[in-house]
Amino acid sequence: MKAVFEHEERSFSMRDKVYAYLQQRPAGATADELLHLMFTSPGSDAELQPYLIRLLLEPDPRFVFDPHLGRWKLREYALLGQPLDDASFVVVDLETTGLTPDVGGIMEIGAARVERGRVVSCFERLVRPSKRPPPFIVHLTGIDWAMLRDQPSIAEVWPEFREFVRDAVLVAHNASFDLGYLNLASRQLTGAPLTDTHVCTLKLARRLVPEVRKRGLDTLAEFFGIRPERRHRALGDALITVEILFHLMQRAKSTGIQRVDQLLALQNEARDGRPFFCPLPRAAVEELPDSPGIYRFYDEADRLLYIGRAKDVRRRVFSYLVNAEHHSNKTLDLIRHVHRVRVERCSSELEAALLEAEEIRRAKPPYNQRFKHLPQVAYLKIGCEPGFPRVSIASRPGRQVHRLIGPLRSRQEAERLLKIWLRMYGLRTCRGRLVPSPEITPCFQGQTGLCTMPCAARIESEAYQERVAALLADLARNGEATRTHLLAERDRFVELERFEAAQRVQQELVFFERLCARFRFLGWLNSDQNFLLLLPEGHGAAIRAYLLLAGELVARAVILQPFEIEPWVLQHAQDPPRQRPRADRVEAGVIIAAWLRDRRARGGVVFRLPHPNTHWPATLGEEWRAACEQLLAAPQLVPSS
């Protein structure tokens, strides 16, 4: 008897899994597809496979089999097999007081009923919202409070709108927005959502109109030659959407799509051409915290698949439930295997980034690519080569460096800055040991005037060193010489009436000014890369301390009392731990450098530290303790250094 109950329990579990799968597929699925969903190795017996699926699903009234198509469907989707030309659609648009779904936020409903390819009736009602529309919405729609205050509420309008929809398929542009409001209202008024099945013309446009990058209502209307009448009023936008729907259905028919369920299946396809499906329950995601932390994805067998981090864990994990264009093929494959998520809260984005790096290095999840989790960081390096130092781009600090410039946001940003300085100073970028000789043919960079060609003995070592010294002096004066050079270059192009070139130099000037503002803060960090970073933790209950020496994170800890900070720093600075691989410490240094580069929030403080081998003034400990006391007393009032 126990075995019978266990068998029945497994059958119900499998049926629920199939039900969740078919909810995402109005066109249904074949027996072979369902077997691959339930079993890792379903076998290849062509007769046994349909029999097993029929044995499992036939007793459950939720499922029906379409013998003409050879596909299993949900009973609620069986009517969606009708041809597109015979289907009834209701195209709807809302005007609302905001962007977040709210029952009292609907202020106008517009809808058009389409039957057999033509509009047969329209629905247009103003609705009294629970609050006045903000000025921006009034300006956009032309609907003000005077027009709304005497109108019926959504509860009064709802029965008439529901009767207008009846059994038609709902259509909207960016349907998640409009259906978010309508389903919320329906749940409050009737206890059930209005519909879970709808056509979204935005999603269809992503599949059927690859010619355009943006697929908003205005862009698609212009593309299809539709006159946008009464734009930003509900019925006007609904009628524009009707015309767009007609064009999209014609394109869909040209690809062989003839039925409503096929159109819905196309809409739910991911960018890799496969159906989009995420087994992770939405209810589980709604319970996640909206704070910084790391998240771990697991498959059905509880195997770790992926580790990620986020400032807002709930928002980030929710992004995996959306069929977005930016998902790569690998991400889509990950999404289809995620059954569970586990979260670990962190005190800050920085701590989350460091913990993520450590966990990826330890666990090596299959969907994490090496170094992909690291932030985009780049440096310009002036090397220590004798005679003719080279300038190069690096993704992390190195040891044999005369001067480090950065951190920059990306390699592209570093290349842009390097081109400016090559025009000014002509320093070499070529690798290898340099042996000047007049017989050497200069490279393309030298021939185009971006290098002084020391390889071809066109410049003496002393003169080259003067150029290096000039660049370093320019850095010390916050780019004064570079700024003067770019201004003169821009003005010269204007005098020559080469306005496009002048505009390009002006853009370089704006770019350089932005970098200078960043270098004013980060310059000393790159000169010796020894510093102490203190951040408040737990709303001032403790302090998170990070100690970096030579650009490497050698220690981090939670400090509870101000007197703990000095002995902790001295211990690790004089005898830094070496148990972790150097690559791990450098990786953490890159993460912290990027955080310092990008941080906007107040509440932390950075201290410059002397070289570990030198004498440290006793006043440093007093400064650390004073900063800790301030952070513990009022963490939001301590300015960032």
Q: Which domain-ending residue is among 312, 337, 363?
A: 363
Find the CATH number of the domain harbouring 346.
3.40.1440.10
Q: Are residues 98 and 239 in the same domain?
A: yes
User: What Å distances lie between residue 429 and 260, 450, 459, 465, 624, CA to CA?
Assistant: 61, 10, 15, 15, 42
Same domain, 62 and 100: no
- List, for residues 473-528, the tens digit of each pLDDT value: 888 888 899 999 999 999 999 998 888 999 999 999 999 988 887 776 665 555 55
Work out whether the CA dihedral 337, 342, 344, 345 comes out positive or negative.
positive
- Domain holding 429, by residue range, is 378-526
- Measured CA distances, 179 to 263, 422, 611 (Å): 18, 56, 61
Q: Does the pLDDT of residue 640 top 50, yes or no?
A: no
Higher pLDDT, 589 or 205: 205
Q: Which two tokens stand for residue 243?
A: 């015309």
Residues 56 and 106 in one domain: no
Spatial strand order in the sheet of 552-559: 552-559, 542-549, 531-537, 605-608
pLDDT at 4: 37
Distance CA(461)–CA(437), nearest Å, equals 13
Residue that is written with structure tokens 């509860």 in the block? 155
What pLDDT sits at residue 43?
A: 53
Residue 368 lies in a domain: no
pLDDT band for position 389 (cuts 50, 70, 90): confident
Name residues whose C-beta falls within 8 Å of residue 94's C-beta, 6 or more positions apart in sequence: 106, 108, 109, 110, 177, 178, 181, 182, 234
pLDDT given for residue 639 in this prediction = 44
| pLDDT number for residue 221 | 93
pLDDT at 313: 93
SS3 307: strand
Instruction: With beta carbons less than 8 A apart as the criterion, state whether 346 and 352 touch.
Output: yes
Does 115 reside within a domain?
yes
Instruction: Tell me what pLDDT residue 406 has.
Output: 72
Q: Within this chain, do residues 338 and 412 fall inside the same structural domain, yes or no? A: no
Predicted pLDDT of residue 398: 62
Res 523: pLDDT: 58
Could you give the angle at which helices 217-224 and 234-254 cross, rounded to 10 degrees?
Answer: 60
CB-based contact 373:356 (threshold 8 Å): yes
Helices (H), 497-564: 499-528
Residue among 373, 415, 375, 422 nearest 394 (CA): 415
- Check whether residue 482 and residue 535 sit in a common domain: no
Query: Is residue 641 in some structural domain?
Result: no
Question: Sign of dihedral through CA atoms 64, 66, 67, 70?
Answer: negative
Mean pLDDT, range 27-31, rounded to an integer: 78
Name the pairing type of β-strands 531-537 and 542-549.
antiparallel
412 falls within a domain: yes
Q: 421-470: per-residue pLDDT in tens?
A: 889 988 888 887 787 888 888 887 777 778 888 888 888 888 988 998 99
Tokens 């970098």 correspond to: 515
**What is the count of structural domains for the chain?**
5
Is pLDDT of 342 > 90?
A: yes
Strand partners, 394: 379
Q: Please determine, for residue 2, whether its predicted confidence score (pLDDT) is greater than 60.
A: no
**pLDDT bracket for residue 590 (50, 70, 90):** confident
For residue 344, pLDDT beyond 70: yes
> What is the Cα–Cα distance from 230 to 237, expressed in whole angstroms?
7
If asked whether residues 352 and 480 sit together in one domain, one would say: no
Q: Does the residue 332 lie in any domain?
A: yes
pLDDT given for residue 19 in this prediction: 81
Contact indicator for 399, 612 with CB cutoff of 8 Å: no
Confidence grade of residue 404 (pLDDT, cut at 50, 70, 90): confident
CATH code at position 131: 3.30.420.10
Give a yes or no: residue 638 inside a domain: no
Angstrom distance (rounded) from CA 27 to CA 270 = 15
Give the Å distances, CA to CA, from 27 to 66, 266, 270, 501: 10, 9, 15, 56
Predicted confidence at residue 528, as pLDDT, reads 58
- Provide the pLDDT for residue 78: 67
pLDDT digits (tens, 9 = 90+) for 96-152: 998 878 889 999 999 999 998 899 999 999 999 999 999 989 998 999 999 999 999
Comparing 617 with 198, the larger pLDDT belongs to 198
User: Please, what is the average pLDDT of the chain?
Assistant: 83
- DSSP label at 299? -
- Separation between Cα atoms, residue 321 and residue 36, nearest integer Å: 21
In which element (H, E) is residue 253 found?
Answer: helix 234-254
Handedness of CA 57, 58, 62, 64 (dihedral sign): positive
pLDDT tens column, 518-551:
776 665 555 556 888 888 876 668 888 988 887 7
Choice among 35-44, 239-248, 296-305, 407-416 with the minimum mean pLDDT: 35-44
- The token pair at 77 is 């989707």
- What pLDDT digit, counting tens, does each position of 163-221 carry? 999 888 999 999 989 998 999 999 899 888 888 788 999 999 988 998 888 888 999 99
C-alpha closest to that of 314 among 283, 337, 336, 291: 291
**Cα(592)–Cα(272) distance, rounded to whole angstroms?**
36
Residue 148 shares a structural domain with residue 247: yes
Q: Which of 294, 280, 422 has the alpha carbon at shortest distance from 352?
A: 294
Residues 111 and 206 occupy one common structural domain: yes
pLDDT per residue over 238-263, tens digit each?
Answer: 999 999 999 999 999 999 999 888 88
Question: Above 70 in pLDDT, residue 576?
Answer: no
**Given a cut of 70, is residue 278 above it in pLDDT?**
yes
Collapsing DSSP to helix, strand or coil, 414 comes out as helix
Q: Are the beta carbons of 592 and 501 closer than 8 angstroms?
A: no
Q: So what's the pLDDT on residue 439?
A: 81
Does 464 share its domain with 477? yes
What single-letter DSSP state applies at residue 577?
-
Q: Are residues 507 and 427 in the same domain?
A: yes
User: Hunting for tokens 């089999």 — which residue is that?
Assistant: 65
Same domain, 111 and 177: yes
1 has pLDDT over 80: no
> Percent of the chain having pLDDT more than 70?
87
Catalytic residue among 7, 198, 232, 572: 232
Q: Does residue 446 lie within any of the structural domains? A: yes
Above pLDDT 90, what percent of the chain? Answer: 30
The pLDDT of residue 262: 86
pLDDT confidence bin for 328, thresholds 50/70/90: confident
pTM: 0.60
Residue 33 has pLDDT above 90, yes or no: no
- The last residue of one of the domains, among 526, 561, 580, is 526
User: Three-class SS string for 334-383?
Assistant: HHCCCCEEEEEECCCHHHHHHHHHHHHHHHCCCCCCCCCCCCCCEEEEEE
The strand pair at 169-172 and 198-200 is best described as parallel
Q: State how far the Cα of 349 lies from the Cα of 112, in Å rounded to an integer.
A: 47
The two tokens of residue 89 are 């659609």
Q: How many angstroms separate the CA atoms of 147 and 150, rounded?
A: 7
Q: Which helix (H) or strand (E) holds 472?
A: helix 461-476
Q: Which of 62, 80, 98 is the last residue of a domain?
A: 80
pLDDT at 58 over 70: yes
What pLDDT, on the 0 to 100 scale, is given for residue 217?
92
State whether 226 and 348 are in the same domain: no
Query: Is 232 in the active site?
Result: yes
State whether residue 34 is helix, strand or coil. helix
Q: What is the pLDDT of residue 274?
A: 79
Q: What is the pLDDT confidence band of residue 361, given thresholds at 50, 70 and 90?
A: confident
Confirm whether 533 is domain-assigned.
Answer: yes
